[in-house]
Amino acid sequence: MMPSRWILFLILPFLSSPLAAQRLTADRPAPLISSAHQTKLHLFSPGAPITAGLHAALPGLPEGGDLERRSPFLASLYSLVLPGMGELYAGGFSSGKYFLVADGVLWLTLLAFELQGNALRDDARAYSVAMAGVNPAGKDDQFYVDVGNFMTIDDYNQKKLRDRQPEKLYDATAGYAWSWSADIDRMAYRDQRLASENMYNNKKFVVAALVVNRVASAINAARAAVSHNNALEQVMKDVEFSASLMGGLSRPHGILLSVKKGL
């Protein structure tokens, strides 16, 4: 089996003085990477000149020259926390971005339902204060439900006595009295309160959609990680790396990286 060889150069100039810099310029071409960036670049960091060489040498290499395997479990976990992040980790954000956008839209929808539900609830309660003389201090949600179902506190208490539920009676002297002047006012209040309830119920569907979106993203991220690992395994089959110092120990001026792949 005859190997084909690609030679990749990563020039690492060692400039300890202006004189050394002049000698470097006179003896050989300028380095491929400026000294300002050398300490920040890893050998296979995306964007480095060596990355393009690796892609030329190893067709099918995952985007960015990423030679690390990805954990499907971690990819799924990341997407469960924030949809799209697992795909980003696994190198498949081109599909993961849609899960991320969907998550943002769902959160905005959830917030809109919450705000609208609160506004409708507050308006309904204010209406009951104005039209039925309700005292809002210390009242729970069930009290406002009962206000919408009965014209007066007496009607409510008589119904509870008939049902043999004396523990549910309201004390008019303790601030629980109410009296609607017309049934149409009571119905208007009730409709507004029910509209508020519907808004809160809609939130449950949005929460369910958030969960489904996360699960779908987690599955997609795991598949992206598996695909990344399979592609990496296929590309790196029979590949050997070797490195040597250019210029020798006396005048080192770079590293010669050899990538050898069997045909």
Average pLDDT estimate for 189-198: 95
How many domains does one find in the chain? 2
pLDDT at 33 over 50: no
Distance of CA 223 to CAs 84, 92, 93, 114, 178, Å?
Answer: 13, 9, 12, 35, 61
Please report which confidence band the pLDDT of residue 69 belongs to, taking 50, 70 and 90 as the band edges: confident
Domain range enclosing 130: 96-217
46 vs 62: which has the higher pLDDT:
62
Q: How much is the pLDDT for 119?
A: 96
**Both 101 and 194 in a single domain?**
yes
How many Cβ atoms are within 10 Å of 162's Cβ, its own excluded? 8
How many Cβ atoms are within 10 Å of 229's Cβ, its own excluded? 17
**Both 74 and 176 in a single domain?**
no
Here the tokens at position 69 are: 């395997």
Contact (Cβ atoms closer than 8 angstroms) between residue 50 and residue 10 = yes
pTM: 0.64
How many Cβ atoms are within 10 Å of 93's Cβ, its own excluded? 19
**Both 128 and 212 in a single domain?**
yes
How many Cβ atoms are within 10 Å of 232's Cβ, its own excluded? 20
CATH code for position 164: 1.10.287
**Both 79 and 187 in a single domain?**
no
**Both 18 and 118 in a single domain?**
no
**Both 122 and 181 in a single domain?**
yes
pLDDT at 138 over 70: yes
Please list, in sequence order, all residues whose beta carbon lies within 8 angstroms of the beta carbon of residue 16, skipping any fewer than 6 positions away: none
**Both 88 and 145 in a single domain?**
no
**Both 145 and 229 in a single domain?**
no
Please list, in sequence order, all residues whose beta carbon lies within 8 angstroms of the beta carbon of residue 139, skipping any fewer than 6 positions away: 176
What is the three-class DSSP state of 128?
A: helix
Here the tokens at position 63 are: 């985007």
51 vs 174: which has the higher pLDDT:
174
Output the average pLDDT for the chain: 77
